[in-house]
Structure 1
Amino acid sequence: MTTRISGGRTRAATATARRGIASVLGVVVGVVSAAGVVVVGAGPASAASVSVSDASLAWGLSGEQGGGAFFGGCNFLSAGKAGDSGSSRLWTQGDDFYATRDGNVTVEKPDAAGVFGEPSWATKCQDPNGAAVSAGSTSSLSRNRVVFSRGTGTVDAAAGTASIRWSGSFTSVFYGGLTYWSASDPVLTVDGDGTGTLTATASGYGADMNDPGTWVALPARTVTLAKLSGVEVGAAGFSVTPDYLGESVSVPSGTTGQPAKSGSNQAFWGSFPQDFVDFQQSTGQSSYWFTSGGARDAAKPATPLTLSYTTRTDGTAAPTPGEPGTTPTATTPSSPAGAADASPTGTTSGAAEDCAVTDAVKGGSLTWGFKKSFRSYVGGPTGNSITADDGLKILAQDLAVAGRNATGSYQWPFESSSAYTSPDDFTVQYAGRVTYSYPAHFFKVAIAEPRLVVRGTTGTLYADVSLTVSAPDAEPTTDARSDVALASLDLSGGTADNGASGVTRTVRTAIQDTKAFTFNGSNFYQKGQRLDDATVHLSGCAGTGAAPTTGPDGTTGGQDTGGTGDDSALVPDTRFRPDELASTGIGAHATGALAAAAAGATAGAALMLLARRRRHTAGVHR
């Protein structure tokens, strides 16, 4: 099993060495792909077991799970548990078996820029460049992956343990549908020695390449999808390549077996877990899950599996995320020294009912951190800065980098309202400016004065944005633009909390204008990529304040009309975090784009687009 480097696929170091390195470098979680090393998250080890309720699991199983097939086009993944095709036959679009989204499960694959998106029936068998995958090449792969969201469980980073489960299913399809099986409700466990397992309930239909008439429903049973070793449980997750290389397997007499390891196959010789291969004997796919001496062996090794989550630092369970558009339960973690006060402020300046919004918005705030992974990218390295001006507060909540207060979410103060008809129809202007500076990567990005325009279940966040690019021995250049349609708003999936304290609602956001994050054609983000959720609080009272609170004596405090309140209790819990940005590693493949973007800046600059890559390996009919 590998950790961090997928290209060489060497076995992980011993647990003792791993713990020693972790103690020196801290917890650093890396997503490994053929493109390089990408940071998923970093932070100190937790002092005790903490609950998680928004865990995301992404995995492509193997390269072969997205490879070309000798018949039927390709092998691919589908969200949900597929129905009964009635026989071993090719799927058709009219069957409605194929899906890219089902409940908490999504199927994705990357484009040429490494940005993941949901494929279609027409594109599911294409590689990232849009070419059809070919069975004649083990490197011609779609690189599709399955993503489970909203996992729940516990994590103890200090002890190196984790136990998380998900609800939902995916289906592994080989040879265009001639054989397929499903995995449901996966459970991930990691022990303190760095070993672990990913299990699921497997079901499907029995097929036989030697007897096309064979087709029988298989009884559901628990199987081990992956065995893990060398796992480093971090405060935000981990990435690891499941055990495959060097693993042996036994198969029934008379079936295709595993040849001896040799100089020609040692780079990819191995197997998925024994009980998993045993199950595949019934599906007809068995020889595609271990080295079998076939032409596709090099595509069969397991690909990196990535887990990400958000944990509470006070040892209590994180609130369960609500559907988009709903208001999360207000929680108030302790505030690090130097950060804005995390406690909502209530005064007796007015009765609670005075703050209800009737025909005009007079105050409130916008709580929005732009994108947590960007805050982590800029806020982590020494020498960088994230600064707030013009009334913007950087909150203690939702820190992107533990211990660095400047990496929390933002509270944008209310400035004015030009229209209000209902909680679904309003225009509000906010003040404030946040500036991200990364001198070593030669850029400075500023976002200022956001304006929300909401109409029904959609809307737009406008803002003033600027990008300053500098390079050695060159004058900095700045592209400043006003009132840019920076992000789209999605208010579907929930209703506003409209009461005595005003209107509060959670909004999903996605980037629309990427110009300020594009250096000479190399983009940080693609249009439509998910940003952090935002909480909008509209008040009938003046000033920026949180919702009124009930004190221990039963009295209710009103809105703070002095503009010194704190909406930090309204920081939303996103359903899932979007793909992280990028690492700052200095790989030769990564430096070119940023160097060109910085008008000739040389080595040392690195900019990689993030793509939590996962691939699925599959085999049907050897």
Structure 2
Amino acid sequence: MPVRRHRSSALAAAVATATAVGATALAALGGATTAAAAESPLSGYELTWGIKQSYRTYVGMFGAFTVSEGAGQAAGNGAFTFTKGTGTYDTATHTVGLAFEGRLVSASAAHGFEITLTDVRFDSAAGEITADVRKVATVDGTATTTEGDDVPLATVDVTRDMTDMTTTLTAEAGEYLGNAGYAGAAGDPLTVTRTTQPSTEPSTGPGTEPGTEPSAGPTTREPSPGPSTGPTDPEPADPETTPAASPGSPDPNPDPDPDSGPEPATSTGASPAPAPARGAIADGTLGWGVKESFRSYVVGPIADGEVTVSGGAVQAAGNGAFTFKDATGTYDTDAGKLTAAFKGAVNFKGHRSGDTYGLDLTLSNLKATLDGGAGTLSADVNSLGEQTRGVVLADLKAGSGDLEADGGVITVDGIAATLTGAGAEVFGNYPAGTALDAVDLSVALTDDARLPSSGGSGTGGGAATGGADGTGGAGGTGSAVGGTGTTTGGSIGGGSLATTGTSLPGPALGAAAGAAVVVGAGAVYATRRRRTRARSAG
């Protein structure tokens, strides 16, 4: 169906409201307004907002996002960007009202929902972000559609530079996104930034007297979006002195690169003796995060679980990647071949129901092989007490087929990992061919060779856990604490996290369904600027 457009009427209403608020504020302070507030047109703005990271993780696990018509999404299931923002700046109240282009659809066939956001707007006077929302929920073959115009999705703690602003999700956001618990919860930070400049200076707005500051146009001054405190508000800040986030950046304050490839530690003794072209591996580390979205899902509000490492493995801080150590195996640099096994285990546990878990998965005894740059990554898998050894989880592809030793160490970082069919049965919700986290590999060829201090990018840090209680998991054995599993032909059956979630215990399934199935069809939402209608289709 055609996308409904309401920018003109909604923007006019917003401008009228902002003008009325400014006039009321001045009157309350004892000042008399003699003319309407001057308004300057704005254009070329972008809005970046991720809604909520846990929501993106959930949709990424069970469905997908689709962006179009000017909207975009950052890599790695990141924040969304809406473009071509236009609107007005009120020079009396120092507030802006902007409407953006872009269409965002989140959908999951498995959980029967499709939610579409269009006509996203930011109103600094009201301190909120709104959008037109269309929700289709399918239950038992019956589709129910609910639509709302200018639905308030979040309140915004507006700052002068409009960068990294704190957001709080509304009750309406919870109703449309399918999780009532979102009401009042912290959303992702919001950034509004100018990305283009007009070729000419906008004319001075009406009511500007000679000698006063020209109206704030996008080429001269950044609008001051802060709430008005009266006629003594400071002038808008200059964009050169308060730069906003760079265009298209989903995170105005991104974390630095966790590791750009550590350098080997400086040896205080003599250089190690040259290693032979082939032989036995003396030591080594493997860095791998499995998949970032899976780690987030396990410790997030749906699975409400924890990640635990044991047997010498460590996890980077912030629910980061894992490092497996004490490598053994063989290498042949002339042939470009390497086989290395690593010690350590990681356990993923979640969907608790009493003393049982719907998810209890342990990976241990990881083994990587490379031959001319291609290879595999395998592990012993224990899922809900059923163990299978040597499951090939991923196909590996290095950037080069060569294996070069430097200081007696072979280091191959950024090895692409792709989920195999057997791996897809282990993780359940990811199809074969899904890109997993990259693998970083370092092996020492002699006893006196020095490995990189953190064992490759994305690794390092001490043992870490995630989840509500922070307690340990099943450890290296991953012994079952509930549920059943079957093993057929070397692949994991009932122990996997089922695509439909039907293998979860009752309370856990209810929790997942509460976040998966869109609720509140036909409900009346209290907002002065929204109309809601519901209809059912067979």
- TM bin, normalised by shorter chain, reads 0.3 to 0.5
TM-score, normalised with respect to structure 1: 0.36
Q: Which has the larger radius of gyration?
A: 2
The alignment's TM-score, normalised by the length of structure 2, stands at 0.41
**Larger relative contact order (Cα-Cα within 8 Å, sequence gap ≥ 6):** 1
